[in-house]
Structure 1
Amino acid sequence: MLPQRDKKSPIAYSCYFTRSREGEQFVPEHRFSYQVAGTMTTNDGSREYAFNEGDFRFSRRNHLMKFLKFPPEGGAFKSLSVSLDQQTLRNFSIEFGCKAEKHVNGEAILRLKHDPLYKCFMDSLQPYLQIEQEGNEDLVANKQKEAILLLLKVNPELQDVLFDFSEPGKIDLEAFMNKNFHFNVELNRFAYLTGRSLATFKRDFEKLFSTTPGRWLQHRRLQEAHYLIKEKGKAPSDVYMDVGFEDLSHFSFAFKKLYGLAPSRI
């Protein structure tokens, strides 16, 4: 099981005046979002999506995704979202008798069709951004319930996604890691998404790769960075975060240690 997070309001507002990247690139719960201003691009390791002002999207839980947020010229990036956690959805399922009929392996993020009901709902969230979460749990829970009702009315096919409460099963570790090594997440996220406890993940990993996950991840990320810099002509400052490093100086130090040259000298 993943560690418990601090309780946060499920209603979130993002505002950035410069280009921004998310930190941890894991989506733990379903999320219904509205792009108020600016552009957001996302990448799930297989494909890239772009969402512009006025677009609605639905992000599926238990997926790895990278986010890039671009403010409009002379303005700010703004987005509104509502997180739909598993307990809220289970309560809704019991109250309304909703259940998934089948497991859907679809895309990590879905572009929702425009509907005036969605816009009215997102506009109604503005006052909730000013209130404290503590003491107003029932009010916030009602907005989550309203979001679920709207999603089911406008996109009824989402029922099989919203009420699928299954957890990730054990999958091919080698294929998963080679596809997702560039996501900057903690090892327990990788373990969870491959259907393993952290201890089992480490044990299986070392049997498969003959090294620890930490060493393998750093080496694989540096290999990819070397390829992007040498073969694709990319600058180190444009590469280090794309391959999973948080800090340019740490990336440069590790790169030089492995290849004998600073990345800027390649």
Structure 2
Amino acid sequence: MISPAEILPGVIFYSYLSAERKEKVCFWNHHTLVLQVSGKFTMETSGQTISMTQGGMLLIGKNQLGTLTKTPLPGGNYETIVISLQDDLLRKIVLEEKIQADHKYIGPPNILIPTNEFLQGYFQSIVPYARSAGASMTDEMGILKVKEGVKLLMMAMPALRNFLFDFSEPHKIDLEKFMLSNFQFNVPVEKFAQLTGRSLAGFKRDFQKAFNAPPRQWLQNRRLNEARHLMETRRQKPSAIYLDLGFESLSHFSHAFKKKFGVAPTEVNDGQINS
């Protein structure tokens, strides 16, 4: 087996070492969840030294440099599953679940997770995929497993929302790319600003430069254009898409659609809309 082997490229890695102790310097640029299957895992950073053995779960904070030591127990192997909780996926979870961080996280950057039956069940559900190097896991299944893990972590330790969903790093993410991927979520402009690492004023300024329009105006136009596309090309009904496109009610959607295109959305499939 190759070590580490990828289950879901860039997200879930499976590391396997047999009768070999290995030490290396690592940089964790994403929050990372480590599930210890067997052997001993030891991590040393500037402020913490943490060890765990079989059944242990550790949440490692992003943007850290440290030394990792992997040690098989006598007569056994070293096995671990590493799940990278990338910011893009965590932002998606925030939007889908409407999660709000309560305050700035001020605790330790690395946290041993107390086990419970739900987390134990999740742990065991990942192991078979790991041991087959992810042969039977599709990308969609893999992302669902990562989302499940994040939700179970928050059930076990609700305060982790402040750890996982703080996006206030000094650097900014690509605003244009993020908005084109997430325009359909019905959240305030202030939330979009937070998720892209900007103040509200900075977000509006950068948004105007990127799209040559204010955020609210662009969001409504983008959602209406997507609605038109779905109805014309996929024959979808207004009642089936308005919520998924961020409109709070069918009447609001219908009014905005008619104002923009000159016809009611129910008339689109009748060919009455002009290009």
Interval of TM-score (by shorter of Structure 1 and Structure 2): 0.5 to 0.7
- Whichever residue aligns with residue 52 of structure 1, its letter is T
What is the match of residue 84 of structure 1? 85
For residue 133 of structure 1, report the CA deviation from its aligned partner: 8.2
What is the match of residue 27 of structure 1? 28
In the TM superposition, 1:13-24 aligns within 5 A as: 13-16=14-17, 17-23=19-25
* Residue deviations 1:165-203 (CA, integer Å, cap 9, x gap): 12147xxxxxxxxxxxxxxxxxxxxxxxxxxxxxxxxxx
Q: Name structure 2 gaps, 5 residues minimum.
A: 1-7, 172-275
Shift in alpha-carbon separation, 1:132–1:71, aligned structure 2, 3 A: closer
Distance (Å, rounded) in 2 between the aligned partners of 1:18 and 1:122? 24
For residue 71 of structure 1, report the CA deviation from its aligned partner: 0.5
Q: Is the 8 A contact 2:36 2:53 kept in 1?
A: yes
Q: Name structure 1 gaps, 5 residues minimum.
A: 1-6, 170-266
Distance (Å, rounded) in 1 between the aligned partners of 2:100 and 2:135? 29
What is the match of residue 60 of structure 1? 61
Q: Is the 8 A contact 2:90 2:165 kept in 1?
A: yes
Aligned length in residues: 162
Match for 1:157 among 145, 159, 179?
159
**SS at the partner of 1:101?**
coil
What is the match of residue 12 of structure 1? 13
**SS at the partner of 2:159?**
helix
Larger Rg: 2
Q: Is the 8 A contact 1:38 1:52 kept in 2?
A: yes
- Whichever residue aligns with residue 165 of structure 2, its letter is F
In the TM superposition, 1:131-142 aligns within 5 A as: 136-142=138-144
Distance (Å, rounded) in 1 between the aligned partners of 2:116 and 2:170? 32
In the TM superposition, 1:1-266 aligns within 5 A as: 8-16=9-17, 17-23=19-25, 25-129=26-130, 130=132, 136-168=138-170
TM-score normalised according to structure 1 size: 0.56
Shift in alpha-carbon separation, 1:45–1:131, aligned structure 2, 3 A: closer
TM-score normalised according to structure 2 size: 0.55
Shift in alpha-carbon separation, 1:127–1:54, aligned structure 2, 3 A: closer
**SS at the partner of 1:117?**
helix
* Residue deviations 1:57-80 (CA, integer Å, cap 9, x gap): 111111112111110001111112
Distance (Å, rounded) in 1 between the aligned partners of 2:134 and 2:44? 33
- Whichever residue aligns with residue 102 of structure 2, its letter is E
Shift in alpha-carbon separation, 1:167–1:13, aligned structure 2, 3 A: same
Distance (Å, rounded) in 2 between the aligned partners of 1:48 and 1:22? 15
What is the match of residue 260 of structure 2? none
- Whichever residue aligns with residue 96 of structure 2, its letter is E
Q: Is the 8 A contact 1:15 1:78 kept in 2?
A: yes
For residue 85 of structure 1, report the CA deviation from its aligned partner: 0.7
- Whichever residue aligns with residue 121 of structure 2, its letter is C
For residue 99 of structure 1, report the CA deviation from its aligned partner: 2.3
Q: How many percent of aligned residue pairs carry the same amino acid?
A: 25
Distance (Å, rounded) in 1 between the aligned partners of 2:119 and 2:12? 15
Distance (Å, rounded) in 2 between the aligned partners of 1:126 and 1:53? 13
* Residue deviations 1:15-41 (CA, integer Å, cap 9, x gap): 112111235x21111112221111111
Q: Is the 8 A contact 1:9 1:133 kept in 2?
A: no
Distance (Å, rounded) in 1 between the aligned partners of 2:54 and 2:135? 28
Distance (Å, rounded) in 2 between the aligned partners of 1:132 and 1:156? 30
Query: RCO (CA 8 Å, sep 6+): is it higher in 1 or 2?
Result: 1
Shift in alpha-carbon separation, 1:102–1:136, aligned structure 2, 3 A: same
Shift in alpha-carbon separation, 1:9–1:127, aligned structure 2, 3 A: farther
Q: Is the 8 A contact 1:44 1:65 kept in 2?
A: yes
- Whichever residue aligns with residue 94 of structure 2, its letter is S
| Aligned Cα root-mean-square deviation (Å) | 2.2
Distance (Å, rounded) in 1 between the aligned partners of 2:62 and 2:12? 16
Distance (Å, rounded) in 1 between the aligned partners of 2:80 and 2:156? 20
Q: Is the 8 A contact 2:22 2:70 kept in 1?
A: yes
